[in-house]
Amino acid sequence: MAERPRDLVDDLCLRRDEAIRLGEKRARERQRPKGKLTARERIALLADPGSFLELDEFARHDGGPYGDGLVAGHITVDGRPVCVFAQDFSVFGGSLGEVSGAKVLKVMDLALRTGVPIVGINDGGGARIQEGVTSLAQYAELARRHTAASGVIPQISMILGPCAGGAVYAPALTDFTVLVDQLSHMVVTGPDVLRAATGEESTLDELGGGHTHATVSGAAHYLGADEPDAVDWVKTLLGFLPSNNRAVAPEYVDETAFEVTATDLELNRIVPDGANQAYDMTEVVTRIVDDGDLLPVHEGFAPNMICAFGRVAGRSVGVVANQPLVAAGAIDIDASEKAARFVRFCDAFEIPLLTFADVPGYLPGRDQERGGIIRRGAKLIYAYAEATVPKVTVVVRKAYGGGYAVMGSKHLGADVNLAWPTARIAVVGPEGAVQVLHRRELAALPGPERAARARELAARHHDSPYPAAERGYVDGVIEPARTRVEVTAALRALRGKRAQTPDRKHGNIPL
C-alpha cells in the first residue's frame, strides 16, 4: 500500500526535528567549553516562546551542512515583530559565505520591507576564505543594506564571540552594538598580524575586548555581564523604540501627578550650594522620568555625558545630560560624538529630546585641540540644530560659553527652555570673567593681595538665568521641585509639532 500523504509529512517533520536536535547537540558540545550559547539558544532567549519562524533552514552550499552556519527568521519580542539572524560558530566557525550571506540579506530585506527592527547576533570568523571574493561580496552587500535601513528601522548588533577584519564594519553601521565581558572581541587586526606588521605587542582583550570597546573606543553601547544580561538589555531597549521611523514607540498609561510630590521636593536639595561642588545628575533625571526608570546608552564611554532612554507621561524620550561627577561635566571629543549620535538616532525615530545642562564649556587642552575638538565638537551642534523632534531643555546650574549654546539652547531650535534659580548662564564663569575684565588692576597687585581682590571681584559677579529669560532665551525660571510637572506639560504641548526641513538631498555633518 502506498504511503499516505499525512504519513509522509509526519516522517519528514520527524527527520527535520531529528536533524535540528543532532545539530544543536553538536553545537552545544562546541560552544559550552567556550562558555557560549548556541545560535538557536540565543534566539530563544530573545524571542517570545514559540514565536520563531525560521527562513532558509535547508539552504546549503555545495552539499555542505544545512543552514550554512547561520540561523535567520522572524520572531516577536514582547508581542512586537522583530527580524533576527545569528551566526553559528559551530559550523565553519560562523564564517560568512555565499549562502549564509544571502540568508542575512534576505532577512534584512524582509525587515526593511515590513518595517520592523533587525537584531544581528555575531559570532564568527569573518569572510569564508575558501569561497574567496564571493564571501567578500556578501559583506559589501550587507553594508549597503545597513546603510539603506539607517534611520528607517532600528538596527541592533550583538557581538557574542569573535568579530574580526571587515566583519566589524557591518555592526559599526548599526544603531546599537552590545558586547559581553570576557566573551566578545571586535578587531580589525588581531594581535598576531599587528605584531608582524608593526612589532607592537598586545593581547586580544587589550585590542578589542568588551571592556576596551565599552570604555575607550566607544564601539560598544552596552557591556553585558553574560549573554542573558546582554539579551535582557536588548529587549528593554526595543521597548523604548518604535518599529520604524513612521511608527510610534510603545506608550503606557499616563499616570502623571500634576501636584508636586515628596520626590519632586527632593530636587530642591540635590544641587550643592558651591558652584564647583559635584553631584550626580542621574539623581535629577530619575526624579523626572516615569518611575525613575532610565536605560543608559554608552554608559562606560565618555561618562561626562549622560545619554539614556526614559519615559515621560508614558511616552519615550531621549535624555542628554552633562554629568558634573566627571570632568565637571565639560564636553570633550568623546562626549560630543557620543551625544551627537544619540541625538541623531532620536531625531530619526521621532523620540523627543530632554536635555539637562550643567556645563562649564568645551574641555580645553592641547590633546583636545590636536585631537580635533573643533571639527568633532561641531557634530553635537549640528545634531541639535538638525533635529526636528520636540526638544525641551532644563538648565540646572552652569551653562557657560559654547556649552550653553550646544546643550539644547533656544538658538539651536529648542522648543521649551527652563532654568532653575541656581542656573548660571554666561560667556565664562565669575573667576574667568574677573581675570579678563580686571586683568590690569590685578596685575598691579602683589600675589596675596591679587588673590584676595580676585575673590572679592568674583563674589560680586553674579551670573543668573534672568538676563537670558528677559531676552526670551529661557521660557521660565522655575522651582526645581516643579521640573517634572513643567517638563511633562511642555512635552504634551509639543506632541503635535510639525517641522519644515530644507529641500536638499542631505546635509554635510562634520565627520
pLDDT tens digits, one per residue of 365-384: 999 999 999 999 999 999 99
Q: Which grid coordinates are listed for 211?
A: 571592556
Nearest in space to 360 (alpha carbons), one of 430, 417, 414:
430
The DSSP output letter for 217 is I
All structural domains of the chain with their residue ranges: 35-240, 262-423+464-493, 428-463
Burial class (CB within 10 angstroms; exposed 0-12, middle 13-18, buried 19+) of 448: exposed
Place of cell 554608552: 298
Strands 80-87 and 70-77: antiparallel
Could you tell me which residues come within 8 angstroms of residue 165 by beta carbon, excluding any fewer than 6 positions away? 126, 127, 188, 189
Contact at 8 Å (CB) between 368 and 396? no
Sign of the dihedral through C-alpha 149, 59, 92, 184: positive
Question: Alpha-carbon distance 480 to 487, whole Å?
Answer: 11
Residues of the chain with pLDDT under 50: 1
Strand partners, 74: 53, 83
CA dihedral 130, 134, 139, 141 (to 10 degrees): -170
Question: Alpha-carbon distance 322 to 304, whole Å?
Answer: 6
Q: What is the Cβ-side half-sphere exposure of residue 358, based on CA atoms within 13 angstroms?
A: 28
Question: Alpha-carbon distance 492 to 505, whole Å?
Answer: 32
pLDDT of residue 1: 47
CA angle (122, 123, 129) in 5-degree steps? 105
Q: Which grid coordinates are listed for 322?
A: 552633562
Max Cα–Cα distance, the chain, nearest Å: 115
Domains 35-240 and 262-423+464-493 agree in fold: yes
Question: Alpha-carbon distance 450 to 440, whole Å?
Answer: 11
Question: Alpha-carbon distance 61 to 407, whole Å?
Answer: 53
Burial class (CB within 10 angstroms; exposed 0-12, middle 13-18, buried 19+) of 413: middle
Quickly name the fold that domain 262-423+464-493 has.
2-enoyl-CoA Hydratase; Chain A, domain 1 (3.90.226)
Nearest in space to 187 (alpha carbons), one of 230, 139, 219:
219
Place of cell 511633562: 488
Question: Alpha-carbon distance 317 to 346, whole Å?
Answer: 8
Contact at 8 Å (CB) between 461 and 434? yes
Q: What are phi and psi of 413, to 5 degrees?
A: 105, 15
Residue 339 Cα to chain centre, angstroms? 9
- Considering only CA atoms, give the Rg of the chain: 27
Quickly name the fold that domain 35-240 has.
2-enoyl-CoA Hydratase; Chain A, domain 1 (3.90.226)
Predicted model pTM = 0.91
Nearest in space to 322 (alpha carbons), one of 304, 334, 295, 308:
304
Nearest in space to 351 (alpha carbons), one of 320, 383, 321, 317:
317
Beta-sheet strands, E only, within 199-304? 222-224, 295-296
Strands 295-296 and 305-312: antiparallel
